Amino acid sequence: GSELCFPNFNSSCRRLLRPRSETLLLYTLVASVSLLTVTLNLLVIISISHFRQLHTPTNTLLQSLAVCDLGLGLVVMPVEGIHYIESCWMLGKIMCALSPYVFYCLISSALGHMVLISIDRYLTICDPLTYSSRVTPSSVKICICLCWACSITYNRLILIDHLVKPDKFNSCHGECVVVVKQIPGIVDLFITFIGPCTVIAVLYIRVFVAALSQMRAIQSQAAATKARAAPTARKSQPKAARTLGILIVVFVICISPFFYPSFAGIDTSTSLSYYGILVWIQLLNSCLNPLIYAMFYPWFRKAIKLIITLRILQDDSREVKIL
């Protein structure tokens, strides 16, 4: 069955009526995923901000990426959840214009951070002698600001028609339809997916080739000297590259379905029957990133314990050896 989204308007869209139990379950699920995403990414941000030992260029990139994921969990997930569950747009014309724009900006910025992380790992493994001079806290912060600025500017160009007239493609009152035409969609596919993913793939192939050669050299050295404890520090860099590689692979897997309409050569539209599935596969990555840190980074698990037990409120907590 169905009823009008706005009974006072003759031009109102129709709402899909769900059983009360199903509606409650969906709202609970959306709220739980959103809360978990916000909580986990806040823990990442607090950990890297608070503990001085974690103030490294790589962790600064992870912290900024966590800000993207925090925004997706705090803003985009609730809005997309309400839109999907109610099957009506209840948030007004201004939010209809801004919500897709914020979503696109956060996703594009997250992809930009993945490229920066790949470059960081490449320089760490393949050019370790000049890494500290080329990758400084200041240069990383400049790159992060440029990443955010490019994302904000680029997506304004992609969604300019929607921002100017958000109800352009609405067929009734209570819709918020965003349409990216086929040609802009193909351009966006190359700029925000194929291009960055190609750069990431090339850099990580070179990283893993270099890491394998380093590991063979370490094993040869250990066999010659019969010392197994000394190479531990040198092994940490390939291990870190592997962990961040997993992070990037999971991100690419989650974001790939979103570009299916462009691959299929059709307009990307929120009115597509499967659009909600594509969006939520992508949004779930924001929750998966901190879980990957928890699985592979002992420092993150240790930081969570210190935060939950409120030991970070102690005067000397910033100097705790977290690594």
Domain boundaries, the chain: 24-319
Amino acid (1-letter code) at residue 182 = Q
pLDDT at 235: 53
Q: Average pLDDT for residues 120-128, to the nearest whole number?
A: 87
For the stretch 1-36, pLDDT in tens is: 458 888 887 788 888 888 889 999 999 999 999 999
pLDDT at 239: 64
- Evaluate the CA torsion angle 107, 111, 114, 120 in order and state its sign: negative
For the stretch 141-171, pLDDT in tens is: 999 999 999 999 999 999 998 999 998 888 8
pLDDT at 240: 62
pLDDT at 233: 46
Asked whether 60 and 20 are in contact (CB, 8 A), the reply is no
For the stretch 234-244, pLDDT in tens is: 555 566 667 77
d(CA 13, CA 5): 6
pLDDT at 229: 46
For the stretch 191-234, pLDDT in tens is: 989 999 999 889 888 888 887 777 777 777 766 665 554 444 45
For the stretch 237-269, pLDDT in tens is: 566 667 778 888 899 899 999 888 888 888 888
CATH label, 24-319, candidates 3.40.50.9100, 1.20.1070.10, 3.40.50.720, 1.10.357.10: 1.20.1070.10
Q: Average pLDDT for residues 61-78, to the nearest whole number?
A: 95
Burial 275-304 (b: 16+ CB within 10 A, else e): beebbbebbebbbbbbebbeebbebbebbb
pLDDT at 182: 85
